[in-house]
């Protein structure tokens, strides 16, 4: 069960415990033991001055203490000793983040961390600095680090172990720099492809995101090194009305709890140490000023005990953007009273000064400050900063790339999704066979930046100067996988013109390759830079597809992009379609292995791919959303459905059954299905189990994902797959904002197979 079944009972129980009331018989109260970490933190907290405490709640960016201007640091970068002393010694700043605008070598990171912790040791408290960074698909700001798929690609693997391993490997590499805090994972939902951070999520479904999120948090925090995950962005961030970054969302409480809360709750239960707050507003209230969400829900109801940090400059934005505060001081008061522990300031020290003044004048109590500082110190204690004083391990112990390359390459392989594979002249277009030439072109075909996306080397991920040395683009990977002289290449930039399209056509007509591979999609972006008015595939790319199709040569479209671009009008002109997402430094070789048949594709879509630009309908839509102006067809008509993907060896489903036809509320449903591989290769098949609530007091979704697993099925083999789903997991948030499972009829679906069951209104 994802949420509390009866909120009233929970509050009543909390009241009884808080007031010391006796029920179900009285006995001597057992005082909980105080942990050694708690004793240490409380002892340290008692020695701190108010100045020490508000400093601990302040986070500055690295650029604020570097030589030069924060946005344009002097190269090569070094820390400015005067700025460092001013921030860390005078103002007692407790946390630093970011990378100074681009990636650095491990040696440079050690220089930064050593200098910062040396300065921190000079303040009266001697408390080490907690350093945080966005290492979202590997060590993204470390030169030549091992970069795997972005989260949307990990989602396409439908493999929690891939996420767990990615988290573990990131933790080990980033910890070796002397950095213990990662601003990852994103647990927002990919419900609207207009949203520019769509690709930073695991997908559109709450259960799937919860499962993958729990796994990556486990990887980060149980990696063998002290390392903290950050859940972001709490919550509802990706569901703005406009689809643009950090713009208003209107989400009723029932939907917030039904869809957007479960991934966070699952990761909190997995032990996540920190949470970053949604920069936007929900129902007119900026989340970082919303006590009902940050204290009443997150602390009191969900029991989160970790650290809450704002996103970039969000306290200041309460009065400069949201316009709910008159000035910075009032904004600071709002954020602290809502429940914020640390402000990502990140450029100045006004927040610190205002917070100090608010406490001294009695507007904010020092006990409220103690709550936040206790959480910060506890996190530092758990991360071992007081033992290591925050200094990095020796550079000689820096882990070798060979320890991580295999799993990054494997995750990229598992993510690549085959969406179309037509037959031409009696043979499937993919995999590419024979010895004839292959032409590779298109704007993403020769770009390592396109393969990695944002938060890679730089914030926007668009500077080739900070790419990983030696990693191939798609063209280069195909030259390695195929005979190099078979691969023709015509370079095209994103803004290519009709003249360049005709150059491609003339080359095809002259050399007659056996296949044309088009690298389509987007170049990197993130946050507001990726806002768009239109999710149509770019018109020049559509013209390229049309022109190449007209030559009569089979055309393979490889989409390298962070969100699904609409291309229904030219889809018939593509003989095969491959979705690569943002697969990272090892993604080009993964695509090439799918194209040449070395690897049997197993990726499946973690989102619904819309056919039209305004059709942002997810798989778990309502029955009323299927009503079309033409009553003979359904309005739910995506290009490709959630969970869809092909392989080179198809698997058919048969004989779906459940162990019973009727279940009590506390039963577990055992679901069995036969998988029959009708091809000649082993397939890594996704078995996804959906429930269909036939009648409910809240309009039910057509489908809800309840379980998924990967099953290997050998060539010509038939295997049985079994899944177990607790009846308690078939519920929803009802009209009283309570989680409930309502008795009645349900369908259980796997693939095209559906079986009916009945849930009775009783327990055993």
Name the residue with tokens 């770019």: 538
- For the record, the structure tokens of 760 come out as 């009775």
Reported as a single tens digit per residue, the pLDDT across 643-665 is: 999 999 999 999 999 999 999 99
- 82 and 204: one domain? yes
- 109 and 224: one domain? yes
- 574 and 672: one domain? no
Residues 6+ apart with CB under 8 A from 533: none
Task: Output the domain CATH number for residue 551.
Answer: 3.40.50.1700
- Whether the Cβ atoms of residue 566 and residue 532 lie closer than 8 Å to each other: no
- The answer to whether position 11 is within a domain reads no
Alpha helices in 176-286 (DSSP H): 206-221, 253-255, 262-269
- Whether the Cβ atoms of residue 298 and residue 339 lie closer than 8 Å to each other: yes
- 607 and 518: one domain? yes
Alpha helices in 561-663 (DSSP H): 587-596
- 447 and 555: one domain? yes
pLDDT at 20 (0 to 100): 34
- 610 and 534: one domain? yes
Instruction: Report the SS3 class of residue 356.
Output: helix
- The answer to whether position 96 is within a domain reads yes
pLDDT band at 616 (very low <50, low <70, confident <90, very high): confident
pLDDT at 7 (0 to 100): 35
- Whether the Cβ atoms of residue 103 and residue 141 lie closer than 8 Å to each other: yes
Alpha-carbon radius of gyration of the chain: 27
- Whether the Cβ atoms of residue 399 and residue 173 lie closer than 8 Å to each other: yes
Q: How far apart are CA 133 and CA 159, in angstroms?
A: 25
The b-or-e profile of 484-500 (16+ CB within 10 A means b, else e) is eebbbbbebeeebeeeb
- Give rounded-to-5 percent helix, strand, coil for the chain: 35, 20, 45
pLDDT band at 33 (very low <50, low <70, confident <90, very high): confident
Percentage, residues of the chain above pLDDT 70 = 96
pLDDT band at 220 (very low <50, low <70, confident <90, very high): very high
Report residue 133: phi and psi, to 5°.
Answer: -155, 160
Q: How far apart are CA 639 and CA 625, in angstroms?
A: 16
Task: Output the domain CATH number for residue 723.
Answer: 2.60.40.10
- Whether the Cβ atoms of residue 80 and residue 42 lie closer than 8 Å to each other: no
Please give the average per-residue pLDDT across 339-357, as a whole number: 97
* pLDDT at 594 > cutoff 70: yes
pLDDT band at 697 (very low <50, low <70, confident <90, very high): very high
- For residue 262, give its domain range: 38-397
pLDDT at 569 (0 to 100): 97
405-415 and 587-596 helices cross at what angle (nearest 10)? 50
- The answer to whether position 14 is within a domain reads no
- Whether the Cβ atoms of residue 446 and residue 188 lie closer than 8 Å to each other: no
- The answer to whether position 23 is within a domain reads no
pLDDT at 34 (0 to 100): 84
Residue 285 CB: number of other CB atoms within 10 A?
16
- 352 and 428: one domain? no
pLDDT at 687 (0 to 100): 98
- Whether the Cβ atoms of residue 231 and residue 268 lie closer than 8 Å to each other: yes
- Whether the Cβ atoms of residue 338 and residue 288 lie closer than 8 Å to each other: yes
Bridge partners (DSSP) of residue 732 are 740
To which H or E segment does residue 483 belong?
Answer: none
* pLDDT at 195 > cutoff 50: yes
- 85 and 226: one domain? yes
The β-bridge relationship of strands 130-133 and 683-693 is: unpaired
Reported as a single tens digit per residue, the pLDDT across 132-160 is: 999 999 999 999 999 999 999 999 999 99
Of 646, 633, 532, 634, give the one whose Cα is nearest residue 579.
646
Please give the average per-residue pLDDT across 446-450, as a whole number: 98
Reported as a single tens digit per residue, the pLDDT across 548-577 is: 999 999 999 999 999 999 999 999 999 999
pLDDT band at 31 (very low <50, low <70, confident <90, very high): low
* pLDDT at 200 > cutoff 80: yes
- Whether the Cβ atoms of residue 142 and residue 173 lie closer than 8 Å to each other: yes
Distances (CA, A) of 337 to 130, 371, 705: 23, 11, 38
Answer with the residue of higher pLDDT: 610 or 614.
610
pLDDT at 627 (0 to 100): 86
- For the record, the structure tokens of 251 come out as 């989400």
pLDDT at 1 (0 to 100): 32
pLDDT at 298 (0 to 100): 97
pLDDT at 231 (0 to 100): 98
Percentage, residues of the chain above pLDDT 90 = 91
pLDDT at 32 (0 to 100): 66
- For the record, the structure tokens of 646 come out as 């092909």
Distances (CA, A) of 140 to 317, 403, 554: 27, 17, 37
* pLDDT at 184 > cutoff 80: yes
Question: Is the previous residue joined to 379 through a cis bond, with omega within 30 degrees of 0?
Answer: no
- The answer to whether position 212 is within a domain reads yes
The β-bridge relationship of strands 230-234 and 274-277 is: parallel
- Mean per-residue pLDDT of the chain: 94
- 221 and 304: one domain? yes
Number of H helices, E strands in the chain: 22, 30
* pLDDT at 672 > cutoff 70: yes
pLDDT band at 360 (very low <50, low <70, confident <90, very high): very high
Name the residue with tokens 């009323």: 624
Among residues 397, 431, 457, the one where a domain terminates is: 397
- The answer to whether position 644 is within a domain reads no
- Whether the Cβ atoms of residue 67 and residue 73 lie closer than 8 Å to each other: yes
pLDDT band at 30 (very low <50, low <70, confident <90, very high): low
Among residues 397, 429, 456, the one where a domain terminates is: 397
350-360 and 328-338 helices cross at what angle (nearest 10)? 70
Question: Is the previous residue joined to 235 through a cis bond, with omega within 30 degrees of 0?
Answer: yes
- For the record, the structure tokens of 227 come out as 């390392």
- Whether the Cβ atoms of residue 223 and residue 168 lie closer than 8 Å to each other: yes
pLDDT at 3 (0 to 100): 35
Instruction: Report the SS3 class of residue 133.
Output: strand
pLDDT band at 747 (very low <50, low <70, confident <90, very high): very high
The b-or-e profile of 170-180 (16+ CB within 10 A means b, else e) is bbbbbbbbbbb
- For the record, the structure tokens of 411 come out as 């995750």
* pLDDT at 473 > cutoff 50: yes
- For the record, the structure tokens of 134 come out as 């966005």
Q: Among 148-152, 418-422, 433-437, 629-633, where is mean pLDDT lowest?
A: 629-633
pLDDT band at 511 (very low <50, low <70, confident <90, very high): very high
Answer with the residue of higher pLDDT: 478 or 627.
478
- For the record, the structure tokens of 255 come out as 């939907």
Bridge partners (DSSP) of residue 558 are 519, 578
User: How many domains would you assign to the chain?
Assistant: 3
Give 47's DSSP letter. T
Task: Output the domain CATH number for residue 248.
Answer: 3.20.20.300
- Whether the Cβ atoms of residue 229 and residue 217 lie closer than 8 Å to each other: yes
Of 148, 146, 103, 95, give the one whose Cα is nearest residue 120.
95
- For the record, the structure tokens of 529 come out as 């830079």
- 171 and 240: one domain? yes
- 176 and 319: one domain? yes
* pLDDT at 327 > cutoff 60: yes
pLDDT at 26 (0 to 100): 38
DSSP per-residue letters across 193-223: TTSTTGGGSS-S-HHHHHHHHHHHHHHHHTS
Active site residues: 311
pLDDT band at 409 (very low <50, low <70, confident <90, very high): very high
- The answer to whether position 635 is within a domain reads no
- Whether the Cβ atoms of residue 178 and residue 185 lie closer than 8 Å to each other: no
Distances (CA, A) of 648 to 159, 517, 598, 651: 20, 18, 11, 10
* pLDDT at 425 > cutoff 70: yes
Residues 6+ apart with CB under 8 A from 576: 418, 420, 421, 422, 429, 430, 554, 555, 556, 557
pLDDT at 156 (0 to 100): 98
Among residues 348, 367, 397, the one where a domain terminates is: 397
Bridge partners (DSSP) of residue 377 are none
- 599 and 687: one domain? no
- The answer to whether position 405 is within a domain reads no
């Amino acid at each position: 069960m994802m949420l509390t079944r009866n909120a009233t009972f929970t509050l009543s129980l909390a009241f009884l415990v808080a007031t010391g009331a006796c029920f179900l018989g009285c006995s001597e109260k057992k005082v909980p033991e105080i942990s050694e970490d708690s004793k240490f933190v409380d002892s340290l907290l008692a020695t701190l001055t108010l100045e020490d405490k508000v400093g601990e709640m302040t986070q500055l960016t690295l650029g604020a203490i570097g030589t030069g201007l924060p946005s344009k640091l002097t190269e090569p970068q070094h820390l400015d000793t005067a700025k460092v002393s001013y921030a860390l010694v005078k103002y007692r700043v407790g946390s630093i983040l970011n990378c100074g605008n681009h990636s650095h070598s491990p040696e440079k990171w050690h220089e930064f961390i050593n200098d910062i912790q040396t300065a921190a040791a000079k303040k009266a408290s001697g408390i080490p600095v907690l350093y945080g960074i966005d290492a979202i698909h590997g060590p993204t700001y470390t030169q030549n680090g091992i970069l795997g798929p972005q989260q949307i690609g990990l989602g396409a693997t439908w493999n929690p172990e891939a996420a767990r391993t990615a988290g573990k490997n990131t933790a080990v590499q980033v910890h070796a720099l002397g950095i213990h805090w990662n601003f990852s994972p994103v647990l927002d939902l990919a419900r609207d492809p207009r949203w520019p951070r769509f690709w930073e999520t695991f997908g559109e479904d709450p259960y799937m995101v919860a499962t993958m999120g729990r796994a990556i948090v486990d990887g980060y925090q149980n990696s063998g090194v002290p390392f903290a995950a950050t859940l972001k962005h709490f919550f509802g961030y990706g569901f703005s009305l406009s689809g643009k970054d950090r713009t208003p969302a209107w989400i009723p409480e029932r939907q917030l709890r039904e869809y957007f809360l479960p991934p966070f709750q699952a990761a909190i239960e997995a032990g996540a140490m920190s949470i970053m707050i949604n920069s936007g507003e929900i129902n007119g209230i900026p989340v970082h000023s919303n006590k009902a969400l940050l204290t009443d829900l997150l602390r009191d109801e969900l029991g989160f005990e970790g650290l809450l940090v704002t996103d970039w400059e969000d306290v200041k934005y309460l009065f400069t953007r949201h316009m709910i505060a008159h000035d910075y001081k009032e904004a600071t008061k709002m954020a602290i009273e809502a429940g914020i522990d640390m402000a990502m300031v990140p450029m100045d020290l006004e927040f610190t000064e205002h917070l100090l003044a608010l406490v001294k004048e009695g507007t904010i109590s020092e006990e409220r400050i103690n709550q936040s500082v206790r959480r910060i110190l506890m996190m530092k204690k758990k991360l071992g900063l007081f033992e290591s004083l925050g200094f990095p391990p020796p550079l000689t112990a820096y882990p070798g790339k060979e320890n991580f390359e295999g799993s990054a390459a494997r995750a990229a392989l598992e993510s690549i999704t085959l969406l179309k594979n037509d037959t031409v002249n009696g043979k499937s277009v993919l995999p590419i066979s024979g010895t004839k030439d292959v032409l590779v072109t298109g704007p993403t075909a020769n770009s390592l930046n396109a393969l990695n996306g944002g938060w890679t080397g730089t914030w926007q991920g668009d500077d080739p100067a900070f790419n990983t040395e030696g990693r191939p683009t798609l063209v280069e990977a195909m030259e390695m996988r195929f005979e190099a002289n078979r691969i023709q290449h015509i370079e095209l930039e994103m803004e290519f013109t009709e003249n360049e399209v005709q150059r491609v056509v003339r080359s095809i007509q002259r050399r007659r390759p056996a296949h044309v591979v088009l690298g389509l999609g987007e170049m990197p972006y993130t946050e507001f830079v990726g806002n768009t008015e239109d999710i149509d595939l770019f018109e020049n790319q559509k013209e390229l597809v049309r022109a190449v199709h007209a030559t009569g040569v089979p055309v393979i479209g490889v989409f390298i992009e962070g969100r699904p671009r609409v291309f229904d009008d030219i889809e018939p002109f593509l003989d095969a379609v491959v979705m690569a997402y943002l697969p990272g430094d090892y993604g080009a070789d993964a695509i090439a292995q799918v194209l040449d048949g070395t690897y049997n594709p197993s990726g499946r879509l973690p989102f619904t791919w819309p056919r039209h630009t305004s059709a942002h309908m997810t798989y778990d839509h309502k029955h009323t959303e299927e009503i079309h102006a033409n009553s003979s067809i359904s309005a739910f008509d995506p290009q490709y459905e959630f969970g869809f993907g092909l392989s080179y060896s198809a698997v058919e489903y048969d004989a779906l059954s459940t162990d019973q036809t009727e279940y009590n509320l506390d039963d577990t449903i055992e679901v069995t299905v036969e998988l029959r591989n009708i091809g000649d290769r082993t397939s890594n098949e996704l078995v996804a189990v959906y429930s269909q609530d036939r009648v409910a007091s809240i309009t039910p979704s057509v489908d809800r994902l309840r379980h998924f697993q990967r099953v290997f099925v050998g060539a010509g083999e038939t295997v049985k797959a079994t899944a177990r789903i607790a009846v308690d997991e078939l519920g929803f948030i009802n009209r009283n904002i309570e989680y409930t499972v309502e008795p009645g009829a349900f369908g259980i679906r796997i693939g095209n197979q559906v079986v009916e069951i009945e849930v009775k209104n009783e327990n055993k």
